Amino acid sequence: MNSPLRRRGGSEADLFEESRDYGESGRGRGGVLLVLLAVILAGTAVAAFGGWLDGGGDDAAVETEALAFSDTSSSSTTTTMPARSVPTVSFSNTAREASTSTTPTTALATRSSTSKPAASSTSHSTTASTTPHTTTPPVTAPPQTAPPATPPPTPAPAPVETAPPATPAPAPAPAAAPEPAPTAPPEPVPAPPPTPGRAELTANQLLVMGNDQWPARQAKGLWRPTIGTSWQIQLQGAVDMSRTYQMFDVSLFAVDIGDIDALHARGTKVVCNFNVGSLEGWRPDKGNFPAGALGGSDPNWPDERYLDIRQISVIGPAIQRLFDVAATMGCDGVDADNVNTYTHPTTGLGLTAQDQITFNRWLAEQAHARNMSIGLKNNLLQIPQLVDVFDFQINESCYTFSECDLLMPFVQAGKPVFGVEYAVGPEGFCGDANNRNFDFLHKRRNLDPYRVACRAN
């Protein structure tokens, strides 16, 4: 009785064991051949399965060879197995019949690196006689030789995704070493100008020098001018020495000691003019006068500010220094300017006549203490109170303002009146001036060297 082959999932050893049992039961030589066929097929399946595992499950067709054996007719039948099929052998111990059939299975891949065309599979149907085969030997079909495999094109290797080379993080810039702060080259200290000799010293220089650097004063007695003294006043430019006068009135800040020495060499006495009632903005000693001792400005001289002459203790030291400079330079007398500021409406200080008298007397004391004579500049209204302490009068424009009678106390005291006229010509005042025993000149307002004297001197 024929029994269909059953799918077996056993190993090669299991199949062999079963075939052995089958032979020992005396089923005949045909059974043995069937067992051998099963072993061959099982080995092929195992090899194919191993190749499939190694080849990654390639779906290429597996070539399978099947041999069919017939005990009686020695004929074989070959059928083509579809891809992914493995023959499964089923045995029947009772009916001694075996048959092979084609059963679809999972595709197996060979170990070959090439793909093969679909192979044929053989299906065998063998009818075994109950009588043992004694005379007809089994005929084994010659194995079919598979055509040489055509090597498939070598598959291009899968592109290996390579991570782009990591861009190295930029190395941190080395911290710049702090550059040392540039050391400013020391400012060149200008070489001090050569110390001027005594002759080159000026009032400006002496005011900024220490008293210990001043040259020694020349010893002299107190000089007082007399009526009829020939004189010149020049407050601008270089001292004109083209002529010789008995007295020369100069600006303290426009001459040097050498000029005074030169005048002295001619027998001329030098009277030095400087401002004591107001402070010029250009003066090198302006810092010596506290701001609290300054008043308003003179409308005729905007760069000047009035001094508060009531604060003698405050402004006195700076004025005394001016007297010291004059004495050191060799001045014989002082022409103290602006000694009637109590009559100026723009001082802003509220000065009184007595304030002025007190201050003016203090000035006379400072001059006399340094062996210098002092002239009263204008201030005609206070001549009666001051004529006794001042040595001479220096007047401007009494003929212009019809004030000349106020000057007579000085003449009456035997003291000279030195005056200038700007607006009135010499013919308009010189006769009367000579009659009054005044010593008058015609001058230009800038007080340059121009001079016309009323007296023949």
Tens digit of pLDDT per residue, the chain (457 long)?
444 333 334 444 444 444 444 444 444 455 556 657 766 776 665 555 555 445 444 444 334 433 333 344 344 333 344 444 444 434 334 333 333 343 333 333 333 343 433 333 333 333 333 344 444 444 444 555 555 555 555 555 555 555 555 666 666 666 666 666 667 677 777 665 566 788 999 999 999 998 889 998 888 899 999 999 999 999 999 999 999 999 999 999 999 999 999 999 999 999 999 999 999 999 999 999 999 999 999 888 999 999 999 999 999 999 999 999 999 999 999 999 999 999 999 999 999 999 999 999 999 999 999 999 999 999 999 999 999 999 999 999 999 999 999 999 999 999 999 999 999 999 999 999 999 999 999 999 999 999 999 998 7
- Kindly report each contact of residues 162-170 with a partner whose C-beta sits within 8 Å and lies 24 or more positions away, as own/partner: none
Cβ-based neighbour number of residue 204 at 10 Å: 16
The Cα 417–Cα 225 span in angstroms is 10
> Does 106 share its domain with 224?
no
For residue 296, give the CATH number of its domain: 3.20.20.70
Q: Is 217 found in the same domain as 105?
A: no
Percent of the chain that is helix, strand, coil (3-state, to 5): 30, 15, 55
| Rounded distance between C-alpha atoms, residue 145 and residue 401, angstroms | 160
pTM of the model: 0.59
Residues 406 and 265 in one domain: yes
Among 111, 126, 141, where does a domain finish?
Answer: 126
Task: Let me know if residue 322 belongs to a domain.
Answer: yes
- pLDDT on residue 211: 84
Residue 381 near residue 364, CB atoms below 8 Å: no
| 111 plus 226 within the same structural domain | no
Task: Report yes or no on 282 lying in a domain.
Answer: yes
Do 119 and 211 belong to one domain? Answer: no
How far apart CA 358 and CA 265 sit, in angstroms, is 37
Q: Tell which phi-psi region holds residue 271, choosing left (phi > 0), alpha (psi between -120 and 50) or beta.
A: beta
434 inside domain? yes
Asked if 243 and 306 touch (Cβ cutoff 8 Å), the reply is no
Domain boundary among 126, 154, 188: 126
Q: Which strands make up the sheet holding 247-251, listed edge to edge?
A: 231-234, 247-251, 269-275, 333-337, 373-377, 392-396, 417-421, 439-442, 452-453
The verdict on 112 and 206 lying in the same domain is no
The last residue of a domain, from among 126, 143, 173: 126
Would you say residue 163 lies in a domain? no
Containing structural domain, residue 66:
12-126
Pair 221, 75 in one domain: no
Look at residue 5 and tell me if it is in a domain.
Answer: no
Closest C-alpha among 419, 416, 412 to residue 378? 419
Element (DSSP H or E) covering residue 399: helix 398-401
Distances (CA, A) of 322 to 57, 93, 207, 378: 123, 157, 8, 21
**Whether residue 299 sits in one domain with residue 398:** yes
When divided into structural domains, the chain yields a total of 2
At residue 457, the pLDDT reads 79
Is residue 76 a part of any domain in this protein?
yes
* 211 and 312 share one domain: yes
414 and 285, same structural domain? yes
Residue 138 lies in a domain: no
- The reply to whether 148 falls in a domain is no
User: Do 100 and 236 have their domain in common?
Assistant: no
Asked whether residue 111 falls in the same domain as residue 219, the answer is no
